Structure 1
Amino acid sequence: MNAPLPRPGAPLEHYVSTAAFDPEQFEAMSAGQARYYKASQKQLMWWKFKRHKLALASGIFLLLLYCTILISEFLAPYGLHTRNVDFIHSPPQRVRFFNNGEFVGPFVYGRKMTLDLATLRRVYTNNAQDIQPIRFFCRGDAYRFWGLVDSDLHLICPAVGGQMFLLGTDRLGRDVLSRIIYGARISLTIGLIGIAISFVLGIVIGGLAGYHGGLFDLLVQRVIEVLQSLPSLPLWMALAAIMPVTWSPIIIYFGITIILGILDWTGLARAVRSKLLSLREEDYVLAAQLMGASSPRIIGRHLVPGFMSHLIATATISIPSMILGETALSFLGLGLRPPITSWGILLTEARSVSVIAFYPWLLFPMVPVILVILAFNFLGDGLRDAADPYK
């Protein structure tokens, strides 16, 4: 009877030194099998994650999206507060490459605005004789990169003296595409900071409650039950409403982030507690205690890694929920406030049914919100499966 092969990720030296290891059987393995059995746990997780094509594509999409927030000023065609008063509520312009069958390159047609006296609405028509080429790596609106360096370099710009509104403009003539790019910086980072606060509270409080039990566990469970019994959105609204209007926008930003993080830890803490209640009776925990390991070390180094797949799934679900929470609060006028711009702030332009009927392009900020939430969910599925030791 052949001796069992070493489990994947285990050091081969351990098996070489035991009688159970058969060198001839190991030598008979193919190169692929040997590579598999010599792989570390991180390599195994990466190989399993790569097989989940949708999760891999979602991870690449999110990585690129988070990279864009580092250079928002460069990517945006216009400045955040640049107003084009001659093109208020201008509909999106179509990028064209051919004019009368002749290749011209990327360009947009110039526009003429007339006022409909019957409805008092602005009517925009394309002027096919006015060809405005789109410029790349060009000089445009001035800005301070991250508030530190003065520059006016943009990835794309309209023609000199022309206009280019690929997603239309709002009621003040501001470019919607540029504002979506700027808003991504706030909406995407608020989820990361919020989940960091939530994870610290959830793992620490839930871990201590599950590991030690007793009176502390009883008090934690009662607090969690009280918080979870309260409706989330009204509670967010109440806490956001008590912040003074005299606070600066950056303090409001961190205030909203802390509120979202503090109110989201309860579900994770209960999950961590239930896992630790079952794992604390394992033999390796007793061995760690006899060797003098402290409670934080046992929880952090021995217990928490045992259900990392659950933590990953929880994180990928919580981040989009926080993005939605900020969007909802800002949409209702109780979250972030101008001049800070987020996707929720942009959607406040479309609170009226009549505005949506006449200017539907003001709903474009909803598209990145939907894409980011779907991407996080697909990424979470792939990471959970990759980190699950039983798959």
Structure 2
Amino acid sequence: MTLRSDPQPLPHFVSDLPFDPAESDDRAGALAEASHLRLMWWKFRRHRIAFLSLIFLVLAYTAVLFVEFLAPYHQDTRNLDAIYAPPQRVHLFHDGAFVGPFVYGRTQELDMDNLRRVYTDDPAQVHKLRFFCQGDSYDFWGMIPASLHLVCPAKDGTLFLLGTDRLGRDVLSRLTYGMRISLTIGLIGVTISLVLGVVIGGLAGYFGGWFDAATQRATEVLQSIPTTPLWMALAAIIPVTWSPLLVYAGITVILGLLDWTGLARAVRSKLLSLREEDYVLAASLMGAGAPRIIGRHMIPGFTSHLIASATLAIPGMILGETALSFLGLGLRAPITSWGILLAEARSVNIVALYPWLILPVVPVILVILAFNFLGDGLRDAADPYK
């Protein structure tokens, strides 16, 4: 006589398994054989906002590789006939007929009462956009000379989709170039803080004793100092004679060195509990050294939590660079970042007269929100109790 027990309830994400449940006799078997990362992926896909944020960030970081090609102009190209020009609208129809993507030409007048330039669309000038075209010359990644762009203005026209600044430079092109600096500085800074947090927190949690006590006091001191004033003080130390590349490296190191404390505390607390596990004791009895035990046995046990923590730390890095550059203590010209672009809009009069200059704040908000949603999704997916 065979006794049959009722099937155990399966997790709520089983409906998203990558196979047809009707064709499977044992869905629980698929769950039992799945790796931890695969289970995380199944749970993460159910978090729709986090999944969409992941797609958005992948597209953004892919665009970072091709900013010269995506930008309509070079970041330093000036058009003296279009200083503080408002954004141009893209049209498809002219006089009821389909023409394709185009912009109208403009006429410029001086408003002597308000001391500003006034631009008016001229319907008689139809400037069709060109795609995969030759435009401003550039060095792709500073190495390969090229002039191919995704979209270009007409031969005798302009294309300022987000307007221009005080020097007649296209805001969209400069925003696209600034994306490379602002997005990569977060990844590099988090990599530095991740390495420091894992190494220092791992040693403190595994060995304990005086090293753990010293590490805890150091992290408490650093976390008690207000972040922004500390960033400003350290950024102000960077010599003004440094090249833009060295300034970029210096700001990145500063952001990384000051953000490792939270991650180190999380790693320490996790290792304090893991070092009492049987497999850690077995590895120690077999002669494994501390670096091997920490790196090969203990750290992989909570890699998913490290990934989630690092994802949530990247927005802080991006905001730190943006704030420092906005205050004039971060990156400097000729490097372009979102913080440098926002520095153009520090004056209330500028914002009132030329509001398109604050448009670089939009990608900052979108990227920060995307990283926060992604981090929340990864944290929920890594939680074994959800």
| TM-score scaled by length of structure 2 | 0.92
Q: Deviations over 1:251-275 (max 9, x none)?
A: 0000000000000001111111112
Q: What is the one-letter code of the residue matched to 2:314?
A: I
Aligned counterparts of 2:210 and 2:288: Cα–Cα separation in 1: 23
Please tell me the residue identity of whatever aligns with 1:110: G
User: What amino acid is the match of 1:179?
Assistant: R
| Range 288-297 or range 229-238, more displaced | 288-297
Where 1:256 maps in the other structure, the secondary structure is: helix
CA distance in 1 between counterparts of 2:153 and 2:202 reads 55
Residue in 2 that maps onto 1:267: 262
1:287 aligns with 2:285: no
Contact map agreement 1:97 1:106 (CA 8 A) in 2: yes
Secondary structure of 2:44's counterpart equals helix
Check conservation: 1:308, 1:387, Cα contact below 8 A.
Answer: no
Q: CA deviation at 1:356?
A: 0.4
d(CA) in 2 for partners of 1:375 and 1:222? 34
Alignment of 1:307-386 (within 5 A): 307-386=302-381
Amino acid at match of 2:263: L
Alignment partner of 1:116 is 2:111: yes
Q: Which residue of 2 aligns with 1:77?
A: 72
Deviation per CA, 1:223-274: give whole Å up to 9, x if none: 1111111111011000000111000000000000000000000111111111
Of residues 89, 100, 104, the one that matches 1:105 is 100
Going from structure 1 to structure 2, the CA distance change for 1:120 and 1:309 (only over 3 Å counts) comes to same
Q: 1:125 aligns with which of 116, 120, 124?
A: 120
Q: Identify the residue that residue 176 of structure 1 maps to in structure 2.
A: 171
Contact 1:309-1:385 at 8 Å conserved across structures: no
Equivalent of residue 277 in structure 1, options 272, 281, 300: 272
Note if 1:389 corresponds to 2:362. no
Match of 2:299 in 1: 304
SS at match of 2:66: helix
Query: C-alpha displacement at 1:127, in angstroms?
Result: 0.4
Structure 1 regions of 5+ residues with no counterpart? Answer: 9-27
Give the whole-Å Cα distance in 2 for the aligned partners of 1:389 and 1:327. Answer: 36
CA distance in structure 2 between the partners assigned to 1:266 and 1:382 by the alignment: 23
Aligned to 1:214: 209
DSSP 3-state at the match of 1:86: coil
- Partners of 1:376 and 1:179 lie apart in 2 by 23
1:86 is aligned to 81
* Partner SS, residue 350 of structure 1: coil
Deviation at 1:297, TM superposition (A): 1.8
CA deviation vs aligned residue, 1:167-204 (integer Å, no higher than 9, x gap): 00000000000001100000000000000000000010
CA contact 1:90–1:170 (8 Å) conserved in 2: yes
**Are the aligned partners of 1:76 and 1:181 in contact in 2 as well (CA < 8 Å)?**
yes
Gaps of 5+ in 2: 11-22
1:159 aligns with 154
Structure-1-length-normalised TM-score: 0.91
Sequence identity, in percent?
Answer: 68
Task: Report the alpha carbon displacement of residue 146 of structure 1 after superposing the two structures with TM.
Answer: 1.0
Distance 1:200 1:162 in 2: 50
SS at match of 1:159: coil
How many residue pairs get aligned? The number is 371
Stretch deviating more after TM superposition (278-287 or 356-365): 278-287
| 2: CA distance, partners of 1:61 / 1:133 | 29
Tell me how far apart the structure 2 counterparts of residues 326 and 275 of structure 1 sit (CA, whole Å): 30
Cα distance in structure 1, aligned partners of 2:141 and 2:133: 19
2:40 maps to a residue whose letter is M
Q: What aligned pairs does 1:7-86 form with structure 2 within 5 A after superposition?
A: 30=25, 32-86=27-81
1:308 deviates by 3.0
The answer to whether 1:96 aligns with 2:94 is no
Distance 1:2 1:42, change over 3 A: farther
Q: Deviations for 1:277-303, whole angstroms, at most 9, x for unmatched residues?
A: 222122222112111121122222222
Q: Whole-Å Cα distance in 2 between the matches of residues 213 and 3 of structure 1? A: 48
CA distance in 1, matches of 2:79, 2:24: 69
Where does residue 180 of structure 2 map in the other structure? 185
- For residues 387 and 3 of structure 1, what CA distance do their matches in structure 2 show? 30
Q: SS of 1:143's equivalent?
A: strand
> Residue 210 of structure 1: CA displacement?
1.1
SS at match of 2:344: helix
Structure-2 change in CA distance of 1:39 and 1:5 (3 Å): farther
CA gap of 1:37–1:346, structure 2 versus 1, over 3 A, is same
